[in-house]
Amino acid sequence: MAGFFAWRGRHLPPPVVALLMAPFFMLIVFAFLYPILSLLSLSVTEPQPGLGNYAKIVENPLYATVLMRTLWIAVVVTVCSLLLAFPLAMAMAQARGAMALLLTACVLLPFWSSVLVRTAAWSVLLQRNGIVNGLLQWVGLTSEPVRLLYTEGAVVIAMTHVLMPFMVLPIYGALRNIPPDYGRAAAICGAGPIRRFFEVTFPLALPGVMGGAILVFLTALGYFITPALLGSPKEQMIATLISQQLREFLDWPFAAALVGVLTVFVTAITLAFSKVFRFDRMMGGQL
């Protein structure tokens, strides 16, 4: 991670910078800005000009519920990812040689298979006669199969699994950037392992935590496949709702309005984050 950002600090002439960034900006403009702006314009022009579509969202409490649920699941997934990712990132940052390679491979390996495959795997594991239910009964926690699939728990577990690498990598980067002398300095000052963690390691890893949290949280907000496959209509998230409007009801203007609401939320949250934590510090993990 650190090596990737080692480019910073080297100054390139502005035309070269512009040239290097051109492909990215073209992609952003044609594949992101243009479609989303035309979609958003649809939401205020069809069927009649005005905010009718947005009024519809406000009038029906279902949409607010779905939006709140989406935010809730995204928060839960972010917190679960953080709790699982931090110890792993610490182990990775401390590991050397073959162990470091193995851990990195374990984190990156899931990227080699598609999200669909990983989600399908969870539906196999969590089904009525699946391994998890079998285990629960064998241990004696339940006497008969429990409903695991099509629950909020299933959605959260699978999304956490899929999104966790995005949390691990920035935290790992931040931890790797902490010079080992900081821990030693804290120790010789009288701090035991727990206080070293809370007084030094965690505060210094915070930029990585924030970077990972925003990646996971924003991705989770717009997540589609996992809630669609592992959740029931009760676990419907906003992305599934939008897709439903598009594909089943062919109500493009209303779907566009939902996209508009989601966009406003994502933008607001992103701005709030970047107000507190400067973005440029997040990925490099430097304070």
* Footprint of another protein (CB under 8 A): 179, 181-182, 184-192, 195, 199-200, 203-204, 287
Angle among Cα 208, 211, 212 to the nearest 5 degrees reads 85
> At closest approach, how far in Å is the CB of 278 from another protein?
14
Shortest Cβ 205–another protein spacing (Å): 10
**Judged by CB, which is closer to another protein: 120, or 191?**
191
Cα dist from 18 to 12, 26, 172, 254, whole Å: 10, 12, 31, 38
Contacts of 115 (CB under 8 A, 6+ apart): 162, 225, 226
**Which is closer to another protein, CB of 200 or CB of 229?**
200
Phi, psi of 277 (to 5 degrees): -120, 125
**CB-based contacts of 84, cutoff 8 Å, min separation 6:** 160, 164, 167
Per-residue tokens: 240: 């599934």
Nearest to 228 by CA among 217, 218, 239, 219: 239
Beta carbon of residue 274, minimum distance to another protein (angstroms, whole number)? 19
Nearer to another protein, 132 or 206 (CB): 206
How far apart (Å, rounded) are the C-alpha atoms in residues 36 and 22? Answer: 20
Give residue 122's identity as a one-letter amino acid code: W
Q: Least distance in Å: CB of 213 to another protein?
A: 18
For the beta carbon of residue 137, count every other beta carbon within 10 angstroms.
14
- Which is closer to another protein, CB of 50 or CB of 203? 203
Closest approach of another protein to the CB of residue 188, in Å = 4
CB of 230 to another protein, least distance (A): 40
Nearer to another protein, 161 or 196 (CB): 196
Q: Which is nearer to another protein, 257 or 283 (CB)?
A: 283
